[in-house]
Amino acid sequence: MDNVIEAVKVSKIYDMGEIKVTALNDVSLMIKRGEFVSITGPSGSGKTTLLDILSALSRPSKGEVLINGDPISQMTDSELALVRGKTIGFVFQSFNLIPRLTALENVMLPLWFQGIAPKERIERGEKILSEVGLEERMHHKPNELSGGQRQRVAIARALAVDPDIIVADEPTGNLDSNSGALILSLIDELHQKRGKTILMVTHERYVAERAERIIHIKDGKIEQSEAVKKKTQEIRRNYK
Amino acid sequence: MDLEILSVAINNLRHQGLRSYLTLLGVIIGIASIFALVSIGDGLNASVTEQFEKLGSNTIFIAPGGTFSSGSGSPTATVTFKDSDIARLESYPEVKNVIPFFATSTVGKHGSDQTTISIFSYDPDKSESLEETGTIEVQEGRLFNNQDVFAAMVGEQFAEKAFSREIGLKNIIEINGKKYKIVGILKPSSQNIGGGGPETNNTVWIPEKGARQTFPNYASNFMFAQTFNKDQVASAKDKIQRYFDRVYGKDQTTVQTSEQLLDQIKQFLAIISGTLIVIALISLIVGGIGIMNAMVMTVLERTKEIGTMKALGATNTRIMTLFLLEAGLIGLVGGLLGSLLGFLIGQGMSIAGQAAGINLQAVATPELFLFVLAFSIIIGMISGAYPAWRASKMDPVVALRYE
Ligand SMILES: Nc1ncnc2c1ncn2[C@@H]1O[C@H](COP(=O)(O)OP(=O)(O)OP(=O)(O)O)[C@@H](O)[C@H]1O
Ligand SMILES: [Mg+2]
C-alpha cells in the first residue's frame, strides 16, 4: 500500500442554482508515500478544490478518494474528521491560528481533538515548537508574532499529531521572501528528514520545482503531470 | 466529555468581553426578577398563614350574603342575625361560644377632622372570647367592660394615621353625633382578619350599648363561632351552614372556616404572584433571545475558526458541545448573579415592607436557588442550541473560505 492518497475519477460541482460550476472534472491522481508533489495552475483553475478533496476536507460530487487505502465515502463525517486529524496536517496561506490561544495552545489543539492526555500534549507541543525555532515564543499569542513566526506555529500545529501527510495551500503567499524561504526549507526538511508526504499548492514555478512532481491544473482538469529533475530540485532548494 | 472543553469555553467567553457581559445582563435581570418575585410571594404566603394561625383554626365566620369578599369591609347584605339564631348555634355541642357583631361604616370626626371609618361593635361580655380568637389584642389601655357605653378601641395604625393629628387614649372620636372616648389601643397584627372581618386601618370598635344608641338600625350582621377544638370545625361549619340555609334560604349567608379563608387569600396571592412571574419569565425569554443573538454573531465571526478546527480533526459533536457550553455558561453565570441580585432585592423589599408595617420576610430556599440556576442554564442551552447546531453543521471548506 504505497499510495497514501488516491483520487479516482473525482469531480467537484458547485451547484449555484441556475448555473453549476465544475471546479474539478473527472480527475484521477495517486500520491505515493513520502512523495513531494506541487500543484500549480492559473487562478480559479481548481488547485484549492483539488487539495481540499485530496485532504478529505470536502467530499467529491462524483468519484472516490482513498486515504491509506480506505474509501472516504464509507466514513461518517465524524470518522472522517478523526482520520483527517490523525493523518493530515494543514498549513494555510493565512495561517488560521486561533487568536485567543497562545502558540503552544494552538499547537496542542489537534492533539486535544485526538483525545491525547494534557501532559503529553504539552510535552509534544513544546518539543515541536522548539524544532521550528520558537522555544522563546511558546506563550505568545498570534498577534504578538511576525508572519513568518505565525506560519512556523502553523507548521508546528500541522506536525503535532505526527501525520503522514502535510498539505499546504500557498504557504508562502502571505510572507516576504525571507520568511517564505525559511518556511519552504522547513517543508523540505519535513519531506527529506521525516519522510512526510507533502502536497503543496503554489502558482510560482520556482517554488513548485522544489517538489519531485508538479501537477498542472487547468479548468478543473489535470493538464500535465511533470517529474522534476533531481538537479532542478536541488538548485531550487538551495536558492535563497 | 472531557472537562477541558469547559475551560476552552470559558476562555472564549472571556475574550468576547463586552458582548458577553451585555448578554449576561439580560439573563441576570430575568433571573433576578424571578428569584425576587418567587421569594417575596412565598414570604407573603408564609406571613398570611402565620396571621391565620394566630387567629385560631377553630373559628368559624358567619356573614350575610353569598360569599366573603376579601377585605371589602362591612357586610352590606340584608340578612341580620336574631337572638334565636345565636341561641341555636350555642346549642350545638361542638360550639364553645358565639360572638355576634354589628358592622357598618360611617363618618368619624376628631375635632374638625373627619374620615370614613368602619365600625365593629360587640357585647363586652364577649371580650374574653374575642381576645381568645386573636382578633383583638390590647397594646395600651383596656378592653370594654359592662359599664362602657360611649367607649372606643382603635388599632395602633388608626391612632397614628386616621386623622391629621395622632390620637391616643382619652381622646374623643365623634360618631353620628355621639362622643366616644378611646379606652384601648390595639396591636396592629391582631386586626388582620380579612374575609369580611374588621379591616386593618380604619376600624373603630365600640361596645353594643353605645352602638344601639348611635345606630338605629343596630342588628347582628356578622358572627364568629368558636368550637372547642380544631377537629370539630368542619362538622360545626356544615351544621351551621345547613341551619342558615334552612332559615334564610340558600346562599343568603356564608359560613367559612379560617382555613377556607386562608385558602382564598392564598389563591388570590397565587394569581398575583403567578402573573408577576409570567412577566418575569418573559423578561428571561428576552434574555434567552439575547444569548441566541450573541451566539449567532459569535458563530458567524468564528466561521473561519470553526473551519480550521474541523480541518484539524474536530468532530461536529465537539464543535456543538463547545458552543452549547458557551451558551450554558452564560446561563450559569447569569443564574448565579441573578439569584444573588434577586435575593438582595427580596431582602430589600422585606426591609422596606417591614418599615411600612407589612409583616413580610422574603423566603429564599436552597431549592429555589437550585431551581432558578438549573432553569437559567437550560434557557442558555436552549438559546445556544440553534447557533451551536449551525456551527457544527458547517462545511469545513466553505467555513475556511469565509471572509
Ligand atoms: N464554494 C464555492 N461555490 C461555488 N464555486 C466555487 C466555490 N469554491 C470554488 N468555486 C469555484 O471553483 C473554481 C475553482 O476554485 P479554486 O479555489 O479551487 O481555484 P484555485 O485554483 O485555488 O484559485 P486561486 O489560485 O485563485 O486560489 C473557481 O471557479 C471558483 O469560483
Ligand atoms: Mg486557491
- SS3 assignment for B229-257: CHHHHHHHHHHHHHHHHHHHCCCCEEEEE
Location of C-alpha cell 395604625 = B157
CA distances from B201 to B115, B137, B155 (A): 12, 15, 7
A69 lies in some domain: no
pLDDT of residue B14: 84
Residue B402 distance to chain A (closest CA, Å): 12
User: Helix, strand, coil % (nearest 5) of chain A?
Assistant: 40, 30, 30
How many domains would you assign to chain A? Answer: 1
In this structure, is residue A14 part of a structural domain? no
Using CB atoms within 10 Å of the CB of residue B244, give its burial: 0 to 12 exposed, 13 to 18 middle, 19+ buried: buried
In single-letter form, the type of residue at position B97 comes to: N
If one residue of A21, A201, A202 were mutated to test the ligand 1 pocket, choosing by the most ligand atoms within 8 A of its CB, it would be A21
Tell me which residue has its CA closest to atom 11 in ligand 1: A23
Residue where the block lists cell 520556482: A206
- Listed in sequence order, the residues at least 6 apart from B365 whose beta carbon sits closer than 8 Å to its beta carbon are B42
The ipTM, to two decimals, is 0.92
B159/B115 Cα distance (integer angstroms): 12
CA distance B377 to A223: 57
For helices B4-15 and B316-355, the axis angle rounded to 10 degrees is 70
Residue B137's pLDDT band, with cuts at 50, 70 and 90, is confident
The answer to whether B235 and B94 are in contact (CB under 8 A) is yes
Residues with CB under 6 A from ligand 1: A 14, 16, 21, 23, 41, 43-49, 203; B 398
Per-residue pLDDT tens digits for B80-125: 888 888 888 889 998 988 999 998 889 999 888 888 888 999 999 8
Ligand 2 geometric centre to CA of A54 (Å): 14
**pLDDT range class, residue B189, cuts 50, 70, 90:** low
Query: Which among A48, A201, A215 is the best mutation to test ligand 1's pocket, defined by most ligand atoms within 8 Å of the CB?
Result: A48
Judge whether A140 lies within some domain: yes
Measured N-to-C along each axis, helices B316-355 and B366-393 cross at an angle, to the nearest 10 degrees, of 150
Strand A221-227 versus strand B59-64 pairing type: unpaired
Q: Phi first, then psi: what are they for B235, rounded to 5°?
A: -70, -40
A203 touches chain B (CB under 8 A): no
Handedness of CA A201, A207, A210, A215 (dihedral sign): positive
Pairing of strands A165-169, A88-91: parallel
C-alpha span between A55 and A76 (Å, rounded): 15
Q: What is the pLDDT of residue B66?
A: 62
Shortest distance, CA A240 to any CA of chain B (angstroms): 31
Going from the C-alpha of B248 to that of each of A157, B78, B241, B252, the distances in angstroms are 93, 11, 10, 6
pTM recorded for the entire structure = 0.75
CA distance B44 to B35: 14
Structural domain including A103 reads 35-44+76-237
Residue A6 lies in a domain: no
How far apart are the C-alpha atoms of B178 and B206, rounded to whole Å?
Answer: 12
User: B-chain residues within 8 Å CB-CB of A109?
Assistant: 309, 312
Instruction: Give the chain A residue nearest B2 (alpha carbons).
Output: A115
Residue B158 contacts residue B110 (beta carbons within 8 Å): no
Q: Single out the residue of B59, B90, B53 nearest to residue B226, CA to CA.
A: B59
- Least trusted range by pLDDT, from B32-36, B54-58, B223-227: B54-58
Sheet holding A19-32, edge to edge: A19-32, A3-16, A62-67, A70-71
Within a domain: A66: no
State how far the alpha carbon of A43 is from the alpha carbons of A171, A202, A216, A220, B207, in Å.
Answer: 16, 10, 12, 11, 106
Tell if the CB–CB gap between B15 and A100 is shorter than 8 Å.
yes
In angstroms, the separation between the Cα of residue B297 and the nearest Cα of chain A is 17
Of ligand 1's listed atoms, the one at least distance from the Cα of A170 is: 27
Q: Which residues are registered as beta bridge partners of B154?
A: B185, B204
Q: How many CB atoms lie within 10 A of CB B148?
A: 22
> How many angstroms separate the CA atoms of A39 and A31, rounded?
12
**Given an 8 Å threshold on Cβ–Cβ distance, is B318 in contact with A85?**
no
Set of cell numbers at residue B233: 370545625
Given the DSSP bridges, would you call strands B222-227 and B59-64 parallel, antiparallel or unpaired? antiparallel
Instruction: Estimate the share of chain B in helix, then strand, then coil, as percent rounded to the nearest 5.
Output: 55, 20, 25
- CATH number for the domain spanning A216: value is 3.40.50.300
Contact B129, B58 (CB under 8 A): no
Tell me the pLDDT band of B379, cut-offs 50, 70 and 90: very high
- A236 lies within 8 A of chain B by CB: no
Least confident of A45-49, B198-202, B206-210, B245-249: B198-202
∠ at Cα B21 (B18, B25), nearest 5°? 135
Cα B389 from Cα B191, distance rounded (Å): 60
Q: Is the pLDDT of residue B197 over 60?
A: no
Query: Cβ B313–A118 below 8 Å, yes or no?
Result: no
**A175, B165, B177 from B111: Cα distances, Å:** 97, 10, 12
Structural contact between residues B181 and B223, judged by C-beta atoms closer than 8 angstroms = no
Distance, CA of A100 to CA of B3 (rounded, Å): 19
What residues flank ion ligand 2 with Cβ within 5 A? A 48
**Residue A111 forms part of a structural domain:** yes
**8 A C-beta contact, residue A228 and residue A209:** yes
Q: A127, A149 in Cβ contact below 8 A? A: no
Q: What is the pLDDT of residues B268-318, one digit of tens each?
A: 888 988 888 898 889 889 889 999 998 999 999 999 999 999 999 999 999
Does residue A11 fall inside a structural domain?
Answer: no
**Is residue A166 included in any domain, yes or no?**
yes
Nearest by CB to B11, from A55, A58, A100: name it.
Answer: A100
Task: Tell the residue nearest (CA) to atom 18 of ligand 1.
Answer: A46
Compute mean pLDDT per 10 residues along chain A, 240 residues long, and list them: 90 91 94 95 94 93 94 92 92 92 94 91 94 92 93 93 93 88 91 93 91 95 89 80
